[in-house]
Amino acid sequence: MSAEGRDRLLALGAPIALVALWEAAVRSGLLDARFFPPPSLVVGTFWRLAADGTLLQHTWASVVRVLVGFAIGSAAGLAAGLMLGTIRSLRVALEPVISALYVIPKVAILPLVMLIFGLGEASKIAIVAIATFFIAVINTTAAVVGVEPIFLEAGRAFGARRLQMFAHIILPGALPAIFTGLRLALGTALIVIIAAEFVAAKEGIGYFIWFAWNTLRPEAMFAGFIVIGALGMLSYAAIRWIGGRLMPWQEDVASPEGRSEHA
Amino acid sequence: MSLKITVSDVAKVYRGRGRAVPALDRVSLQVADGEFVCIVGPSGCGKSTLLRILAGLIPQTSGNVAIASGGRGKPLHSFVFQEYAVFPWKTVFQNVAFGLQMRGVPEAERRAAALHWIERVGLREFADAYPHQLSGGMRQRVGIARAFANDPEVLLMDEPLGALDAQTRLILMDELLGLWELDRKTVVYITHDIEEAVLLGDRVVLMTARPGTPKATFAVPFARPRGVALKATPAFAGLSYQIWEALRDEAVAAMGAAGAGLGRATTRTGAPGAEYGS
């Protein structure tokens, strides 16, 4: 067998083996079925909840909040980061403030956000936007500052003016690191929305999992985990795809081993 | 022959953290129209600094720099950096057309000029490729074409072949000589490779260790058009060795200074303009 074929077999086979092991462990009583329902039951529950539209309804609610919040937060973060990156005095003045606010876990300010934005959709979107904003602004600033000086020199040597420098050198030069930031931000947005939905929602995949706990249905909780995992993978693939379209010059934009995180 | 570049008493001192590091000390240099001048010197002698002052990328601390305009409405200078200064986010075509685009040259004219120079450096099939798809030597052909396409009065080259492997370097030296023969623009060429300087230049200016100042000038008498074959001649080896003998002290001084983390304390009263060789 070729090395590639063996790799593929390992990559596919290992998870299947793990699931089989899990099933066997539950059936033989090694794992407590009250906490770890057997995969067969989880899959059955998942299909039932998917078929009757329950999962779709909750997933959709979460996805909308994440997308709207992410769009607002990343757009604001991107704009602010581009300004901070290019205007030195602004950066010197605001970077300590932003760094200080960044380290506060966004879930900690959820009560305040709910106080301000109420119990409706606005507070959920706001908390996602805030979390996204900080990651986007910090990474975008670092990305702009990190543009190789030789490219700036080359731009100036060929007579690029301020706006030309920005459009032809700084923005494309910073784009790979900006995308790394957006990938991180989207991952964080998912974490934050699940946490927010645990405590302050009547729908959404976070609410769904919390409700499953309240009603002692671990198999439904696991169905929720599957959805979250799928959302994570899907968002990762989406960012990667968009990055590839925007940056055709990159061999692989979002490869986790390829670039540093700049955070 | 008319003067193209006049550098008079230029000095550069880098200041930072309460320390002043002199990089260039009283540099005077004259380059004739159409002359190919190579500047060699030990690492950190400020030769790149001098070139950046010529390009207006950094200001000198004192002294004057003048480049005579040809009155053609063309840019005064174009810069060739090392090969990694080619923009990775632009295709070969976009890179080569960059200077023209910044100057607002009309699309059709820009396109024709860029394609002409892409063809000249043998990258026609790669016009739409991105730099990461090219080898180091091909990338530097892009860097060279980017400067030539801009059609400047003066070409400023900062160790353009310095990061390439030895074979690629030889190939590109030949190509560079061929390109330059086309219209013999004025060139100031920085290198640490003496043989490269002798092969390419009409004149080799040797700089002292930091703070850099011209120490000696060597006229290169070999007839043009030249090629890499010139390296096989005894006269070439003789001149190269002569320059090395003069450079060796400075290279040793530069290593010592680097070890101490400071520039040289003594100022040198070099003999700019002194003609050796031939």
pLDDT of residue A260: 40
Task: Verify whether the Cβ–Cβ distance B57 to A169 is below 8 Å.
Answer: no
Q: Inform me whether the pLDDT recorded for B53 exceeds 90.
A: yes
End-to-end CA distance of chain B: 20
Query: CA dihedral defined by B173, B110, B115, B102, rounded to 10 degrees?
Result: 50
- Contact list, A248 vs chain B (CB under 8 Å): 130
| Sign (positive or negative) of CA dihedral B230, B234, B239, B242 | positive
Distances (CA, A) of B13 to A20, A219, B9, B156: 71, 72, 13, 22
Residue A117 token pair? 């934005």
* Of the candidates A70, A207, A82, A81, the residue with the CA atom closest to the CA atom of residue A130: A70
pLDDT of residue A68: 97
- Contact list, A246 vs chain B (CB under 8 Å): none
Report the residue from B52, B77, B102 with minimal CB separation from A160: B102
* Of the candidates A253, A231, A255, the residue with the CA atom closest to the CA atom of residue A242: A253
- Contact list, B150 vs chain A (CB under 8 Å): 158
pLDDT of residue B1: 65
Count of other CB atoms within 10 angstroms of residue A141: 27
Q: What is the mean pLDDT of residues A142-166?
A: 95
Report the range of poorest mean pLDDT among A112-126, A165-179, A224-238, B251-265.
B251-265
Distances (CA, A) of A122 to A64, A72, A126, A137, A198: 12, 12, 6, 22, 16
Residue B77 token pair? 């200078």
Distance from CA of A232 to the nearest CA of B (A): 29
- Contact list, B57 vs chain A (CB under 8 Å): 153, 156-157
- Contact list, B79 vs chain A (CB under 8 Å): 153-154, 157-158
For residue B123, which phi and psi values (nearest 5 degrees)? -115, 25
- Give pTM, 2 decimals: 0.84
Residue B177 token pair? 């000589």
Residue B136 token pair? 């180091």
Distances (CA, A) of B5 to A19, B148, B257: 76, 18, 31
Strands B154-158 and B77-80, bridge-based pairing: parallel
ipTM metric: 0.87
Distance from CA of B271 to the nearest CA of A (A): 31
Answer whether A27 touches B (CB < 8 Å). Answer: no
Answer whether A248 touches B (CB < 8 Å). Answer: yes
Tens digit of pLDDT for each residue in A93-121? 999 999 999 989 888 999 999 999 988 89
- Dist. CA B12–CA B24, nearest whole Å: 5
In sequence order, which residues have a C-beta less than 8 Å from that of residue A68 and are 6 or more positions away? A125, A128, A129
**Number of C-alpha atoms within 13 angstroms, CB side, residue B77?**
27
Q: What is the mean pLDDT of residues B261-270?
A: 42
Tens digit of pLDDT for each residue in A65-75? 999 999 999 99
What SS3 state is found at B129? coil
Query: Could you tell me the pLDDT band of residue A179, with boundaries at 50, 70 and 90?
Result: very high
pLDDT of residue A122: 94
Residue appearing with tokens 């623009």 = B185
Answer whether B258 touches A (CB < 8 Å). Answer: no
| Interface with A, mutate which of B67, B81, B84, B98 (most A CBs under 10 A) | B98
Q: Are B179 and B143 in contact (CB under 8 A)?
A: no
In percent, the amount of chain B with pLDDT more than 90 equals 75
- Dist. CA A191–CA A229, nearest whole Å: 11
* Of the candidates B185, B126, B197, B190, the residue with the CA atom closest to the CA atom of residue B153: B185
Instruction: Please name the residue of chain A whose CA is at the shortest distance from the CA of residue B134.
Output: A249
Instruction: Please name the residue of chain B whose CA is at the shortest distance from the CA of residue A158.
Output: B99
Report the range of poorest mean pLDDT among A54-68, A71-85, A108-122, B94-108.
A108-122
Query: Could you tell me the pLDDT band of residue A200, with boundaries at 50, 70 and 90?
Result: confident
Query: Could you tell me the pLDDT band of residue B19, with boundaries at 50, 70 and 90?
Result: confident
- Contact list, B131 vs chain A (CB under 8 Å): 249
Distances (CA, A) of B206 to A113, B47, B64: 68, 10, 20
pLDDT of residue A2: 81
Q: What is the mean pLDDT of residues A117-143?
A: 94
Instruction: Please name the residue of chain A whose CA is at the shortest distance from the CA of residue B128.
Output: A249
Q: Inform me whether the pLDDT recorded for B270 exceeds 50.
A: no
- DSSP letter at A166 equals I
Answer whether A151 touches B (CB < 8 Å). Answer: yes
